[in-house]
A and B are shown apart, each in its own frame.
Chain A
Amino acid sequence: MEMIRVRDVRKEFGELGVLKGISFSLHEGEVLSIIGPSGSGKSTLLRCLTQLEQIDGGSIEVCDDVMVTTDDQGNVRYSDNKTLQVIRLKLGLVFQSFNLFPHMSVLRNIVEAQTHVLKRSKEEAIEVARKLLGKMGLSEKENAYPCQLSGGQQQRVSIARALALNPTVLCFDEPTSALDPELTQEILKVIKELAREKMTMIVVTHEMNFARDISDRVIFMDDGLIVEEGPPQELFVNPKNQRTKKFLQRYEQ
């Protein structure tokens, strides 16, 4: 089943085209990695999916809901707010810089959206949060504040916070770029574990080895376009496009 359908998505910042016609789809249980040089538009693509940016053309569908379409005249039409909210909650996002709420305890960071957005009871929300913290190996930290945690721990809390809303697809925007190598491994392990549980995920990353290990499919983006996509064995071992080859060579050294 297709979880996300993206067709010919375009995005401009002023005169600058950042996404120049992106199309792909994501299937249930699939782990999709998006790689590419800085400024290639991978993060912007993720931000368009999670409605942090508005697109300037194309269409996006999530499960059976239409987020946005573009008519023949080129008018971009977003769905009504109710539909957009439904879609928003289907997609979880983990940020590069965690973005935990610093004034709330770890537990409350995970509980807040459950009670206020999903209207779960406080007891239920706390139960969900504790379960997820256990899974992330952070059971002892529920009363800590984000500033008392290491970067890796903060990122695990933010993964728990996203998972607490039971997203259909979990998106990661360079989840390890703000972490040192040791903590990076900590996060990659968590994502690997989620992949093993068949969580549908999109991971924008600079960790090539990781992308090769966990992905079912890899997309290589450059200059606002998908240059090449395929299973990791093919794309990493036998890249067809010249640009992909050049990009990967830089990582092999």
Chain B
Amino acid sequence: MSNLLVLMLHGTYTSLKIFFLTLIFSLPLGLLVARGRMSRNRLISTTVNVYIMIMRGTPLILQLIFVYFAPYYLFGASYDRFTAVIIGFVINYAAYFAEIYRGGIQSIEVGQYEAAHVLGFSKLHTFTHIVFPQVIKRILPSLGNEVITLIKDTALAQTIGVAELFRVAQNAAARQFSTMPIFIAGVFYFVMNAIVSRSFDHIEKKLDYYH
């Protein structure tokens, strides 16, 4: 039993690595993608739109397989499995985050930009100090949803052979002829997401000082 727990903690560590690395890269990338989607340059906005449509329109599991195997067909070699998982997750989640950012940015009243403009703020300062803080507050609930989904989506990494929590549990279940390890994994996911949603509640409360 304790052996099983060690194995599962190890799997959890891999899951969390996928989780955090995906967030670290996809949250900023999503902002960039949102910018591109809102660009007045038709070529940029159309290209970005196609990218978002593909990312949201096809299964993540398929995208992971594509990211890992496509380089084999093209160049005869690919990056290691873990890198492929991170790339797959990042480009997928960036597309979802981009749409959330876009919704938030477009919901900011034009008067905020106008006030900033007549006060002489630069475009960058307007975005970083006036628009973006308000965007964060507005998108926090949808962002929370997406982050919770990401915790559960990490289980898909096993498709290309990365031994994360769910794969470890499945292997153990097969060895022990028991579904118990899988249910234990369920508890692990639940606990991780309880922490995520508590954290989001906490941030929401912190930003509750204005509306």
Cβ-based interface call for A210 (8 A): no
Q: Give the Cβ gap from B10 to chain A, nearest Cβ, in Å.
A: 42
Q: Chain B: which residue is nearest A102 at the CB level?
A: B210
- Cα distance A91–B130 in the bound complex, in angstroms: 21
Quick one: closest A residue to B120, CB to CB?
A: A117
* Cβ contacts B80-123/A at 8 Å (1 or 0 each): 00000000000000000000000000000101101101111100
Task: Report which of B111, B115, B120 forms a contact with A165, defined as CB distance below 8 A.
Answer: B120
> A130 vs B137: C-alpha distance in the bound complex, in angstroms?
28
Residues on B with beta carbons closer than 8 Å to the beta carbon of A89: 120
Chain A: number of interface residues, binned into ranges:
20 to 34
Instruction: Give Cα A97 to B110, complex, Å.
Output: 11
- Beta-carbon contact of A116 and B125 below 8 Å: yes
B210 adjacent to A146 (CB under 8 Å): yes
CB distance from B22 to the nearest CB of A (A): 28
**Do the beta carbons of A102 and B118 come within 8 Å of each other?**
no
Find out whether the CB atom of B120 lies under 8 angstroms from the CB atom of A95: no
Kindly supply a per-residue 1/0 record for chain B positions 128-152, scoring 1 wherever the CB is within 8 Å of any chain A CB and 0 otherwise. 0110011001000000000000000
Most chain B C-beta atoms within 10 Å of own C-beta, residue among A88, A102, A145, A165: A102
With a CB–CB cut-off of 8 A, which chain B residues contact A92?
Answer: 118
Q: Which residues of A have CB within 8 Å of B112?
A: 99, 101
Q: Across the interface, do B114 and A99 meet the contact criterion of CB distance under 8 Å? A: yes
Asked if A40 lies at the interface with its beta carbon under 8 angstroms from chain B, I say: no
Whether the Cβ atoms of A145 and B209 lie closer than 8 Å is yes
Task: Specify which chain B residues have a CB less than 8 angstroms from the CB of A91 in the assembled complex.
Answer: 118
Query: Are the CB atoms of B119 and A117 closer together than 8 Å?
Result: yes
The smallest C-beta distance from A115 to any residue of chain B, in angstroms, reads 11
If A102-B210, A103-B134 touch, whether A93 touches B118 (CB-CB below 8 Å) is: yes
A113 close to B134 (CB less than 8 A)? no
Determine the distance from Cα of A203 to Cα of B137 in the docked complex, in whole angstroms.
Answer: 35
B211 at the interface (CB under 8 A from A): yes
- Docked CA distance A102–B134 (Å): 8
CA gap between A117 and B111 in the complex, in Å: 19
Residue of B nearest to A161 (CB): B119
- What are 26 sample pairs from A and B whose C-beta atoms fall under 8 A apart? A51-B118, A52-B118, A88-B117, A88-B118, A93-B118, A99-B109, A99-B112, A99-B114, A99-B115, A100-B115, A101-B112, A102-B134, A102-B210, A102-B211, A103-B134, A112-B129, A113-B121, A116-B121, A116-B125, A116-B129, A117-B121, A145-B210, A146-B210, A147-B210, A162-B118, A162-B119
Kindly list 18 other residue pairs between chains A and B, CB separation below 8 angstroms, not including A147-B211, A165-B120.
Answer: A52-B118, A85-B120, A95-B114, A99-B109, A99-B111, A100-B115, A101-B130, A102-B134, A113-B120, A113-B121, A116-B121, A117-B119, A117-B121, A145-B209, A146-B210, A147-B210, A161-B119, A162-B118
Name B residues whose Cβ lies closer than 8 Å to a Cβ of A: 109, 111-112, 114-115, 117-121, 125, 129-130, 133-134, 137, 209-211
